[in-house]
Protein backbone atom coordinates (compact mmCIF):
# COMPACT_ATOMS: atom_id res chain seq x y z
CA UNK A 1 0.00 0.00 0.00
CA UNK A 2 1.48 3.33 -1.09
CA UNK A 3 1.58 6.41 1.15
CA UNK A 4 -0.81 9.28 0.53
CA UNK A 5 1.10 12.54 0.24
CA UNK A 6 0.15 16.21 -0.04
CA UNK A 7 2.82 18.87 -0.48
CA UNK A 8 2.39 22.65 -0.34
CA UNK A 9 4.82 24.53 -2.56
CA UNK A 10 4.78 28.10 -1.30
CA UNK A 11 7.16 29.38 -3.99
CA UNK A 12 8.34 33.00 -3.43
CA UNK A 13 5.45 33.80 -1.09
CA UNK A 14 5.19 34.40 2.67
CA UNK A 15 7.71 36.41 4.69
CA UNK A 16 8.82 35.19 8.08
CA UNK A 17 5.69 36.39 9.89
CA UNK A 18 3.30 35.03 7.24
CA UNK A 19 5.13 31.70 7.22
CA UNK A 20 4.74 31.33 10.97
CA UNK A 21 1.07 32.34 10.84
CA UNK A 22 0.31 29.71 8.19
CA UNK A 23 2.36 27.02 9.94
CA UNK A 24 0.55 27.77 13.17
CA UNK A 25 -2.84 27.19 11.52
CA UNK A 26 -1.68 23.88 10.03
CA UNK A 27 0.06 22.77 13.21
CA UNK A 28 -3.05 23.34 15.31
CA UNK A 29 -5.34 21.37 12.99
CA UNK A 30 -6.11 17.83 14.09
CA UNK A 31 -5.64 15.80 10.89
CA UNK A 32 -7.62 12.60 11.18
CA UNK A 33 -6.34 10.76 8.12
CA UNK A 34 -2.93 9.21 7.54
CA UNK A 35 -1.74 11.61 4.85
CA UNK A 36 1.95 12.55 4.82
CA UNK A 37 2.04 16.36 4.74
CA UNK A 38 4.97 18.47 3.55
CA UNK A 39 5.39 22.21 3.15
CA UNK A 40 8.01 24.02 1.14
CA UNK A 41 8.72 27.56 2.39
CA UNK A 42 11.37 29.85 0.90
CA UNK A 43 15.03 29.26 1.83
CA UNK A 44 14.96 32.14 4.34
CA UNK A 45 12.15 30.48 6.29
CA UNK A 46 13.34 26.87 6.24
CA UNK A 47 15.27 26.76 9.48
CA UNK A 48 12.60 28.54 11.54
CA UNK A 49 9.94 26.29 10.02
CA UNK A 50 11.87 23.15 11.00
CA UNK A 51 12.21 24.43 14.55
CA UNK A 52 8.60 25.51 14.69
CA UNK A 53 7.28 22.17 13.40
CA UNK A 54 9.57 20.12 15.61
CA UNK A 55 6.68 18.46 17.46
CA UNK A 56 4.42 18.16 14.40
CA UNK A 57 4.02 15.47 11.74
CA UNK A 58 4.42 18.06 8.97
CA UNK A 59 7.74 17.82 7.13
CA UNK A 60 9.61 20.89 5.86
CA UNK A 61 11.21 20.54 2.43
CA UNK A 62 13.20 22.80 0.08
CA UNK A 63 12.04 24.13 -3.27
CA UNK A 64 15.42 23.75 -4.93
CA UNK A 65 18.99 22.58 -4.34
CA UNK A 66 22.25 23.11 -6.21
CA UNK A 67 23.90 20.29 -8.18
CA UNK A 68 27.37 20.82 -6.67
CA UNK A 69 28.74 19.84 -3.28
CA UNK A 70 30.12 23.30 -2.40
CA UNK A 71 32.17 26.14 -3.84
CA UNK A 72 31.99 29.43 -5.71
CA UNK A 73 28.31 29.41 -6.70
CA UNK A 74 26.99 32.74 -5.41
CA UNK A 75 23.42 32.61 -4.19
CA UNK A 76 23.14 28.82 -4.22
CA UNK A 77 22.36 26.27 -1.50
CA UNK A 78 23.80 22.75 -1.22
CA UNK A 79 22.35 19.42 -0.08
CA UNK A 80 24.55 19.36 3.00
CA UNK A 81 23.47 22.90 3.99
CA UNK A 82 19.85 21.80 3.86
CA UNK A 83 20.52 18.64 5.83
CA UNK A 84 22.44 20.59 8.46
CA UNK A 85 19.25 22.53 9.35
CA UNK A 86 17.02 19.44 9.34
CA UNK A 87 15.65 19.71 5.80
CA UNK A 88 15.89 16.20 4.40
CA UNK A 89 14.15 16.57 1.06
CA UNK A 90 13.97 18.97 -1.90
CA UNK A 91 11.83 19.56 -4.93
CA UNK A 92 13.89 19.27 -8.14
CA UNK A 93 12.81 20.15 -11.67
CA UNK A 94 9.79 22.35 -11.04
CA UNK A 95 8.66 23.80 -14.37
CA UNK A 96 9.26 27.35 -13.10
CA UNK A 97 12.91 26.45 -12.50
CA UNK A 98 13.12 24.87 -15.96
CA UNK A 99 11.49 27.90 -17.59
CA UNK A 100 12.89 30.93 -15.72
CA UNK A 101 16.28 29.57 -14.66
CA UNK A 102 17.08 27.42 -17.69
CA UNK A 103 17.33 24.18 -15.73
CA UNK A 104 17.80 21.63 -18.48
CA UNK A 105 17.43 17.84 -18.15
CA UNK A 106 21.22 17.70 -18.02
CA UNK A 107 21.39 20.04 -15.01
CA UNK A 108 18.45 18.30 -13.35
CA UNK A 109 20.15 14.93 -13.71
CA UNK A 110 23.17 16.34 -11.87
CA UNK A 111 20.91 17.76 -9.16
CA UNK A 112 19.16 14.41 -8.71
CA UNK A 113 22.38 12.41 -8.51
CA UNK A 114 24.12 14.85 -6.21
CA UNK A 115 21.14 15.11 -3.85
CA UNK A 116 20.73 11.33 -3.59
CA UNK A 117 24.48 10.85 -3.15
CA UNK A 118 24.27 13.27 -0.21
CA UNK A 119 21.24 11.47 1.21
CA UNK A 120 18.84 14.27 0.44
CA UNK A 121 15.48 12.84 -0.69
CA UNK A 122 13.85 14.31 -3.76
CA UNK A 123 10.54 15.16 -5.35
CA UNK A 124 11.17 15.19 -9.07
CA UNK A 125 8.77 17.24 -11.23
CA UNK A 126 8.14 16.84 -14.93
CA UNK A 127 5.30 17.45 -17.38
CA UNK A 128 4.44 18.62 -20.85
CA UNK A 129 3.64 22.09 -22.21
CA UNK A 130 0.32 22.87 -23.87
CA UNK A 131 1.95 22.69 -27.33
CA UNK A 132 3.07 19.10 -26.62
CA UNK A 133 -0.43 18.11 -25.57
CA UNK A 134 -2.01 19.81 -28.59
CA UNK A 135 0.29 17.73 -30.79
CA UNK A 136 -0.51 14.60 -28.76
CA UNK A 137 3.17 14.33 -27.82
CA UNK A 138 2.72 14.42 -24.03
CA UNK A 139 3.72 10.78 -23.49
CA UNK A 140 6.82 11.08 -25.67
CA UNK A 141 7.82 14.33 -23.95
CA UNK A 142 7.43 12.85 -20.47
CA UNK A 143 9.32 9.72 -21.55
CA UNK A 144 12.19 11.92 -22.66
CA UNK A 145 12.18 13.95 -19.44
CA UNK A 146 12.30 10.74 -17.39
CA UNK A 147 14.86 8.98 -19.55
CA UNK A 148 17.16 12.02 -19.67
CA UNK A 149 17.27 12.27 -15.88
CA UNK A 150 16.34 9.08 -14.08
CA UNK A 151 18.11 6.28 -15.90
CA UNK A 152 21.25 4.78 -14.29
CA UNK A 153 20.01 5.14 -10.71
CA UNK A 154 20.55 2.39 -8.16
CA UNK A 155 17.41 0.48 -7.33
CA UNK A 156 17.84 1.52 -3.70
CA UNK A 157 17.67 5.22 -4.71
CA UNK A 158 13.98 4.80 -5.43
CA UNK A 159 13.19 4.64 -1.71
CA UNK A 160 14.13 8.34 -1.68
CA UNK A 161 12.25 9.50 -4.76
CA UNK A 162 8.76 10.90 -5.17
CA UNK A 163 7.62 11.70 -8.71
CA UNK A 164 5.33 14.63 -9.48
CA UNK A 165 3.54 14.93 -12.81
CA UNK A 166 2.87 18.61 -13.37
CA UNK A 167 1.58 19.56 -16.82
CA UNK A 168 2.88 23.09 -17.38
CA UNK A 169 -0.43 24.26 -18.83
CA UNK A 170 -2.21 23.42 -15.57
CA UNK A 171 0.17 25.15 -13.14
CA UNK A 172 -1.24 28.34 -11.68
CA UNK A 173 -3.77 28.61 -14.50
CA UNK A 174 -6.89 27.36 -12.74
CA UNK A 175 -7.18 24.73 -15.48
CA UNK A 176 -6.50 21.31 -13.98
CA UNK A 177 -5.90 18.19 -16.06
CA UNK A 178 -9.02 16.02 -15.99
CA UNK A 179 -8.91 13.01 -13.64
CA UNK A 180 -8.82 10.82 -16.78
CA UNK A 181 -5.82 12.70 -18.23
CA UNK A 182 -4.06 12.49 -14.86
CA UNK A 183 -4.67 8.76 -14.47
CA UNK A 184 -3.55 8.07 -18.06
CA UNK A 185 -0.24 9.86 -17.49
CA UNK A 186 0.36 8.37 -14.04
CA UNK A 187 -0.24 4.89 -15.44
CA UNK A 188 2.19 5.69 -18.24
CA UNK A 189 4.85 6.93 -15.78
CA UNK A 190 4.41 3.92 -13.50
CA UNK A 191 4.87 1.74 -16.55
CA UNK A 192 8.07 3.63 -17.47
CA UNK A 193 9.40 2.87 -13.99
CA UNK A 194 8.35 -0.78 -14.36
CA UNK A 195 10.14 -1.17 -17.71
CA UNK A 196 13.33 0.41 -16.38
CA UNK A 197 13.42 -0.65 -12.73
CA UNK A 198 10.93 -3.50 -12.30
CA UNK A 199 7.49 -3.94 -10.84
CA UNK A 200 8.48 -3.85 -7.17
CA UNK A 201 9.69 -0.27 -7.53
CA UNK A 202 6.92 0.78 -9.92
CA UNK A 203 4.30 -0.47 -7.48
CA UNK A 204 5.77 1.47 -4.58
CA UNK A 205 7.04 4.78 -5.99
CA UNK A 206 4.64 7.62 -5.07
CA UNK A 207 3.42 9.63 -8.06
CA UNK A 208 1.77 12.97 -7.25
CA UNK A 209 -0.22 15.25 -9.50
CA UNK A 210 0.28 19.02 -9.53
CA UNK A 211 -1.59 21.67 -11.47
CA UNK A 212 -4.50 23.75 -10.13
CA UNK A 213 -5.56 21.22 -7.50
CA UNK A 214 -8.28 22.90 -5.41
CA UNK A 215 -10.72 21.72 -2.74
CA UNK A 216 -13.39 21.15 -5.40
CA UNK A 217 -11.34 18.83 -7.64
CA UNK A 218 -8.88 17.15 -5.25
CA UNK A 219 -10.95 14.18 -4.24
CA UNK A 220 -11.72 13.03 -7.80
CA UNK A 221 -8.06 13.40 -8.80
CA UNK A 222 -6.76 11.65 -5.66
CA UNK A 223 -9.16 8.74 -6.15
CA UNK A 224 -7.50 7.69 -9.42
CA UNK A 225 -5.68 4.37 -8.96
CA UNK A 226 -2.20 5.59 -9.87
CA UNK A 227 -2.40 8.96 -8.08
CA UNK A 228 -0.84 9.05 -4.62
CA UNK A 229 -1.54 12.68 -3.80
CA UNK A 230 -0.77 16.20 -4.91
CA UNK A 231 1.79 18.96 -5.18
CA UNK A 232 -0.20 22.09 -4.45
CA UNK A 233 0.84 25.64 -5.32
CA UNK A 234 -1.72 28.45 -5.01
CA UNK A 235 -4.23 26.59 -2.85
CA UNK A 236 -1.58 25.70 -0.28
CA UNK A 237 -1.20 29.38 0.66
CA UNK A 238 -4.66 29.37 2.19
CA UNK A 239 -4.83 27.12 5.25
CA UNK A 240 -8.53 26.31 4.83
CA UNK A 241 -8.07 25.22 1.21
CA UNK A 242 -4.90 23.27 1.97
CA UNK A 243 -6.53 21.45 4.89
CA UNK A 244 -9.58 20.67 2.76
CA UNK A 245 -7.32 19.24 0.04
CA UNK A 246 -5.49 17.08 2.60
CA UNK A 247 -8.85 15.85 3.87
CA UNK A 248 -9.94 14.95 0.33
CA UNK A 249 -8.52 11.44 0.48
Residues found near ligand PEP in the complex (CB under 6 A): 9, 166, 171-172, 210-213, 231-235
- Distance (Å, whole) CA 53 – CA 60: 8
* Closer to ligand PEP by Cβ: residue 229 or 233: 233
Which of 85, 71, 100 lies closest to 12 in space, CA to CA?
A: 100
Q: Of the listed 67, 94, 96, 128, which one is catalytic?
A: 94
Measured CA distances, 49 to 42, 161, 197, 200 (Å): 10, 22, 35, 35
**Cβ closest to ligand PEP, residue 138 vs residue 212:** 212
> Residue 163 Cβ, how far from ligand PEP at the closest point, in Å?
13
Q: Is 26 helix (H, G, I), strand (E, B) or coil?
A: helix
Q: Which of 59, 96, 128, 166 is catalytic?
A: 166
Catalytic residue status for 166: yes
- 94 counts as catalytic: yes
Least distance CB 211 / ligand PEP (angstroms): 5
SS3 content of the chain, % helix, strand, coil (to 5): 45, 15, 40
Distance of CA 180 to the CA centre of its chain: 21
Least distance from C-beta 10 to ligand PEP, angstroms?
10
Question: Quick one: 53 or 232, whose CB is closer to ligand PEP?
Answer: 232
Active site residues: 94, 166
Amino acid sequence: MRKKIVIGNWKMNNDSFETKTLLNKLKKYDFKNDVTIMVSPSFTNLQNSVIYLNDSKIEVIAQNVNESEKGAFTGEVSSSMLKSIGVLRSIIGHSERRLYYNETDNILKKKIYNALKNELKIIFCFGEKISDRKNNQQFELVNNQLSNTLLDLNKSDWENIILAYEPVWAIGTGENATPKQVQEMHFHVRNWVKINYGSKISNTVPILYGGSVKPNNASEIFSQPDVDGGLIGGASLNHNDFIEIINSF
